[in-house]
Amino acid sequence: MFPPFEFVFFYSRAPLCYYSAMSKAVAFYDELKDRLDYALSSWLRIEPSIDEEMATRTILGASAFLFDNLFAKEDAGRKLTAEISFDQGHFFVAKALSEKATLLRINMQSDLFPDGKSPLRDYLRWIVETEPEVASWSKDLYGQLAIVTIEELVNVFTSKPGKSEPLRVAELLFLNMTEVFCYAYRELLGPRFMGLKSSAYFLAVNEAMEGIRSEIRD
């Protein structure tokens, strides 16, 4: 069982038509930003520093680039760059975005990822003992992109000792950000989503989040 959590505000994602109103990758980037901000403020009570905020924008932008390159295939690089540059202002460094996208792609391809050490990897090893379907994240590119992105986000907020409890950060960002990936893939793929080798991972997390919301409404 996924453990219960405390939070104040109820997050409501953008309507389904949101993804068809603009570049899918740009819409995905915006959804990732919104959910991360929500998770930090309402679940974790973390107020990111400017450095942390810029780092996360780079990670999310790099992930959106890969989402476009691997799945949406709309050649949205220019639009994404403009969006990320606007967000980061004078902090924007195109090279950093490119390097982060390369790092994510390398981690997606690494057979050593499940055996490595990080707060998220430790959390995944723990949760699969009771939720074995979560392990299916590693079976295709869709799950791999979600996990390597979430790991980079978790690392931003757990790199300094004593600032935040690492497993709690990993747990809450895992749940929140996985749900965004799940929504985006389901919108992009339609019925084909259920055929993904990693669909069990996304559906398990989505079910857990729906259960949490139901408890709050009750």
The pLDDT tens digits for 8-59 are 333 334 444 444 447 999 999 999 999 999 999 999 999 999 999 999 999 9
pLDDT category at 116 given cuts 50, 70, 90 is confident
Which of 174, 198, 202 is closest to 36 using CA atoms? 174
Could you read off the pLDDT of 176-197 as tens digits, one per residue? 999 999 999 999 999 999 999 9
Helices 77-88 and 94-109: crossing angle, nearest 10°?
120
54: tokens are 């810029």
The rounded distance, in Å, linking the Cα atoms of 132 and 156 is 27
Could you read off the pLDDT of 92-102 as tens digits, one per residue? 999 999 999 99
The rounded distance, in Å, linking the Cα atoms of 17 and 20 is 5
pTM here?
A: 0.89
- Backbone φ and ψ of 178, nearest 5°: -60, -40
CA distances from 207 to 36, 112, 210, 214 (A): 19, 29, 5, 10
